């Protein structure tokens, strides 16, 4: 009944897909609630970012003063030395603040991500089976792995870049306008072209990037399907068909990557061209203005530096734009999972199940996984000590009855009582702890055999574990495997040896 879902397949392809929104207030405020405990650090990062931007704006101003005041007006060596020192100092400050801001932001980001991952894990453990029935495990995995990774990128790179780049742009434009409004407007004339080119490339690059992610998801799903389905593939001699299908997927990923790379390589030359054009404008109009005495040589030199520093933030902003889109979509899905209501839960004030004697009673039970009824008006009673076998054709509802008794699902009508107690009146943990359940498809966790036998009862002694293994007719087999493992690894406790579940079955 459980675990029969087709794995892989479209699951990997359905990662967080950008839904177009660059800023989602709900996601942002939720994210902020995780960052609030680190408020002081965040403020410190903001201060450092502002300082970094300031040092980048100040550099060319120092250059202008050096040329205009100390080189051309009067040959002041002391002044020049001082300015050079100040220049070196801004570089030092810039380097320190950048390193510090990255580190501090990483601290905040890692704490936030650890917390989110922890909450997701807890939620997945607690969500009712009805949730896991409806959601492929691949999709749930992708929430934890891919979507959280996008969040990590947003926190460590995205947020800081947006603030830093905007500050830098505003700082540069403002300084240029103050130094020479006319030259500023002339050299900024290339800006609209630059912005249009960036939008053009960003849009296509985003599509190309999505395509590479989709196709690498298909490659992963292809691998996963054939690894987990290798028995079936070999049993039906479908290796070649499987291979052909994988080759098609594999080629798709190759083509998508090549296209994305070609696009990525085409963009930097355009930026370079714009930077050169802006430089030419500054040189041409600037030198003319110097000759006619409107501006000084220092202003032209400062402008030459600014126009080259100008394009980096624009380029980064365009990249951060798509990161924000992805992160908003990822956040939507992550928080939706964290907030997902638990369908089968302890009711308020549920008490602990008293020690079970063993009278089980189904009283006019109605049940269905979906709208389709599976059990209709089922009534029976099993007395303590009785051995009951449920017999029926496949799909009759035998497994469902066992699942209902452990309250993996809630019934639609009627009552299920154990020792006369409605199982919805007691806590699920206290009920299930007193039940034994052998699922149709066993699952082994990593760890020792003993850990696995102890799974439902961690306090069991070594003797009890061995006793359980004897009862299940597994003891001799475990001993023989453990002995060989013991010889190889020299483990101190042969019967509790650690070996991989793969070897066991
Ligand atoms: N998780 C599920 N979601 C939706 N429908 C389900 C689910 N599990 C079982 N069903 C449906 O409920 C009905 C009863 O299934 P159940 O697994 O209880 O039958 P069963 O008697 O145990 O069959 P089998 O002999 O094959 O183990 C079937 O029609 C099945 O398709
Ligand atoms: Mg069954």
**Are residue 410 and residue 492 in the same domain, yes or no?**
no
Q: What is the pLDDT of residue 487?
A: 53
Residue 117 lies in a domain: yes
**Are residue 381 and residue 461 in the same domain, yes or no?**
no
Query: Which residue among 1, 362, 372, 391 is best mutated to probe the pocket of ligand 1, counting the most ligand atoms within 8 A of its Cβ?
Result: 1
Query: Which residue among 369, 392, 406 is best mutated to probe the pocket of ligand 1, counting the most ligand atoms within 8 A of its Cβ?
Result: 369
| Ligand having the closest approach to the CA of 393 | 1
What range does the domain containing 458 cover? 449-504
Element holding 378 (H helix, E strand): strand 375-382
**Are residue 413 and residue 466 in the same domain, yes or no?**
no
Residue 145 lies in a domain: yes
Task: Evaluate whether 343 touches 123 at the Cβ level (below 8 Å).
Answer: no
Q: Which ligand 1 atom lies nearest to the CA of residue 368?
A: 12
Nearest protein CA to atom 27 of ligand 1, as residue: 394
Both tokens assigned to 129:
């089976």
Residue 400 lies in a domain: yes
Residue 454 lies in a domain: yes
Q: Could you give the CA distance from residue 462 to residue 468 in angstroms, rounded to a whole number?
A: 10
Instruction: Compute the distance from residue 397 Cα to the ligand 2 centre, in Å.
Output: 7
Nearest protein CA to atom 1 of ligand 1, as residue: 133
What are all long-range contacts of 235-242, with beta carbons under 8 Å and residues at least 24 apart?
none
Nearest to 209 by CA among 138, 155, 157, 262: 262
Three-state SS sequence of 385-450: CCCCCCCCCCCCCHHHHHHHHCCCCCCCEEEEEECCEEHHHECHHHHHCCCCCCCCCCCCCCCEHH
Nearest protein CA to atom 5 of ligand 1, as residue: 369
Give ion ligand 2 contacts, CB < 5 A: 398-399
**Are residue 406 and residue 462 in the same domain, yes or no?**
no
Consecutive 10-residue runs of the chain (505 residues): their mean pLDDT?
A: 35 42 86 94 94 92 89 82 92 94 93 93 88 78 82 88 91 93 88 84 81 82 81 86 88 91 85 87 92 91 88 82 84 90 90 94 95 94 92 91 93 95 94 84 80 86 91 86 59 41 36
| Ligand having the closest approach to the CA of 2 | 1
Instruction: Compute the distance from residue 397 Cα to the ligand 1 centre, in Å.
Output: 6
DSSP SS3 for 498:
strand
| Ligand having the closest approach to the CA of 397 | 1
360 beta partners: 382, 418
Neighbours of 445 (CB within 10 A): 9
**Are residue 410 and residue 455 in the same domain, yes or no?**
no
Sign of CA dihedral 414, 419, 420, 423: negative
Q: What is the CATH number of the domain that holds 366?
A: 3.40.50.300
Instruction: Compute the distance from residue 2 Cα to the ligand 2 centre, in Å.
Output: 9
**Are residue 80 and residue 121 in the same domain, yes or no?**
yes
Instruction: Compute the distance from residue 470 Cα to the ligand 2 centre, in Å.
Output: 26
| Protein residues with CB under 6 Å of any ligand 1 atom | 1, 133, 369-370, 374, 392, 394-400
Q: Could you give the CA distance from residue 150 to residue 324 in angstroms, rounded to a whole number?
A: 9
Distance between alpha carbon 365 and the CA centroid of its chain, in Å?
A: 42
Residue 471 lies in a domain: yes
Q: What is the CATH number of the domain that holds 34?
A: 1.20.1560.10
Q: Which ligand 1 atom lies nearest to the CA of residue 4?
A: 1
Q: Could you give the CA distance from residue 472 to residue 242 in angstroms, rounded to a whole number?
A: 39
Structural domain ending residue among the three candidates 402, 432, 462: 432
Q: What is the pLDDT of residue 391?
A: 92
**Are residue 399 and residue 473 in the same domain, yes or no?**
no
Task: Evaluate whether 68 touches 22 at the Cβ level (below 8 Å).
Answer: no
Task: Evaluate whether 112 touches 38 at the Cβ level (below 8 Å).
Answer: yes
Distance between alpha carbon 387 and the CA centroid of its chain, in Å?
A: 48
Query: Which residue among 392, 398, 406 is best mutated to probe the pocket of ligand 1, counting the most ligand atoms within 8 A of its Cβ?
Result: 398
Q: Which ligand 1 atom lies nearest to the CA of residue 396?
A: 21
Task: Evaluate whether 336 touches 127 at the Cβ level (below 8 Å).
Answer: no
Structural domain ending residue among the three candidates 178, 208, 228: 178
- For the chain, the domain total comes to 3
Structural domain ending residue among the three candidates 178, 201, 233: 178
Task: Evaluate whether 410 touches 343 at the Cβ level (below 8 Å).
Answer: yes
| Ligand having the closest approach to the CA of 1 | 1
Residue 440 lies in a domain: no
Instruction: Compute the distance from residue 3 Cα to the ligand 2 centre, in Å.
Output: 12
Query: Which residue among 128, 400, 412 is best mutated to probe the pocket of ligand 1, counting the most ligand atoms within 8 A of its Cβ?
Result: 400
Instruction: Compute the distance from residue 17 Cα to the ligand 2 centre, in Å.
Output: 37
Q: Could you give the CA distance from residue 216 to residue 256 in angstroms, rounded to a whole number?
A: 9
Residue 464 lies in a domain: yes
Q: What is the pLDDT of residue 105?
A: 93
DSSP H helices, 4-76, are 25-35, 39-65
Instruction: Compute the distance from residue 228 Cα to the ligand 2 centre, in Å.
Output: 22
**Are residue 378 and residue 460 in the same domain, yes or no?**
no
**Are residue 105 and residue 161 in the same domain, yes or no?**
yes
**Are residue 424 and residue 475 in the same domain, yes or no?**
no
| Ligand having the closest approach to the CA of 131 | 1
**Are residue 113 and residue 80 in the same domain, yes or no?**
yes
Q: What is the pLDDT of residue 97?
A: 95
Nearest protein CA to atom 25 of ligand 1, as residue: 394
* Residues whose CB is less than 8 angstroms from the CB of residue 155 and which lie 6 or more positions away in sequence, other chains included: 105, 108, 109, 112, 113
Q: Could you give the CA distance from residue 394 to residue 408 in angstroms, rounded to a whole number?
A: 20
**Are residue 389 and residue 483 in the same domain, yes or no?**
no
Q: What is the pLDDT of residue 255?
A: 93
Q: What is the pLDDT of residue 485?
A: 60
DSSP SS3 for 379:
strand
Nearest to 114 by CA among 155, 64, 55, 60: 155
Q: Could you give the CA distance from residue 408 to residue 403 in angstroms, rounded to a whole number?
A: 5
Q: What is the pLDDT of residue 483?
A: 72
What are all long-range contacts of 315-321, with beta carbons under 8 Å and residues at least 24 apart?
315/198, 315/267, 315/271, 316/161, 316/165, 317/161, 317/162, 317/165, 317/166, 318/198, 318/199, 318/201, 318/202, 319/202, 320/157, 320/158, 320/161, 320/162, 320/165, 321/22, 321/202
């Amino acid at each position: 009944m459980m675990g029969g879902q087709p794995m892989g397949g479209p699951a990997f392809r359905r990662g967080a897909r950008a839904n177009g929104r660059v800023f989602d207030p709900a996601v942002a405020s939720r994210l902020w609630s995780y960052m609030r405990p680190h408020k002081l650090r965040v403020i410190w990062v903001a201060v450092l970012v502002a300082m970094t931007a300031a040092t980048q704006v100040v550099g060319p101003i120092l250059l202008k003063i050096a040329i205009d005041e100390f080189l051309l007006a009067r040959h002041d060596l002391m002044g020049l030395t001082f300015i050079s020192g100040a220049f070196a100092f801004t570089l030092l400050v810039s380097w320190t603040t950048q390193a510090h801001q990255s580190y501090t932001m990483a601290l905040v980001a890692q704490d936030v991500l650890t917390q989110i991952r922890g909450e997701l894990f807890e939620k997945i453990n607690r969500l009712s089976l009805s949730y896991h029935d409806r959601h492929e495990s691949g999709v749930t995995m992708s929430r934890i792995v891919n979507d959280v990774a996008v969040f990590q990128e947003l926190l460590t790179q995205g947020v800081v870049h947006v603030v830093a780049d905007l500050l830098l742009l505003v700082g540069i434009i403002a300084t240029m306008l103050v130094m020479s409004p006319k030259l500023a407007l002339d050299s900024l004339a290339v800006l609209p072209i630059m912005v249009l080119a960036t939008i053009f490339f960003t849009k296509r690059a985003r599509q190309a990037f999505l395509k590479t992610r989709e196709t690498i998801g298909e490659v992963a799903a292809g691998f996963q399907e054939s690894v987990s389905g290798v028995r079936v593939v070999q049993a039906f001699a479908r290796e070649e068909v499987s291979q052909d299908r994988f080759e098609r997927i594999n080629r798709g990923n190759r083509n998508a990557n090549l296209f994305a790379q070609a696009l990525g390589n085409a963009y930097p030359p355009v930026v370079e061209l714009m930077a050169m054009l802006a430089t030419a404008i500054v040189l041409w109009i600037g030198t003319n203005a110097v000759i006619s005495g409107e501006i000084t040589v220092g202003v032209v030199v400062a402008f030459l530096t600014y126009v080259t520093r100008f394009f980096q933030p624009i380029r980064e902003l365009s990249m951060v734009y798509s990161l924000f889109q992805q992160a908003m979509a990822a956040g939507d899905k992550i928080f939706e999972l964290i907030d997902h209501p638990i369908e089968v839960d302890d009711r308020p004030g549920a008490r602990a199940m008293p020690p079970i004697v063993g009278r089980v009673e189904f009283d006019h039970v109605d049940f269905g996984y979906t709208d389709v009824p599976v059990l209709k008006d089922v009534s029976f009673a099993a007395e303590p000590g009785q051995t009951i076998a449920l017999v029926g054709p496949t799909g009759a509802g035998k497994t469902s009855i066992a699942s209902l008794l452990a309250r993996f699902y809630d019934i639609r009508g009627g009552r299920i009582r154990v020792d006369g107690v409605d199982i919805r009146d007691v806590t699920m943990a206290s009920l299930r702890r007193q039940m034994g359940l052998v699922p149709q498809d066993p699952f082994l966790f990593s760890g020792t055999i003993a850990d696995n036998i102890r799974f439902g009862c961690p306090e069991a002694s070594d003797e009890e574990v061995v006793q359980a293994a004897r009862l299940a007719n597994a003891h001799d087999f475990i001993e023989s495997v453990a002995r060989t493992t013991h010889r190889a690894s020299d483990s101190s406790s042969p019967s509790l040896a650690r070996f991989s579940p793969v070897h066991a079955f």
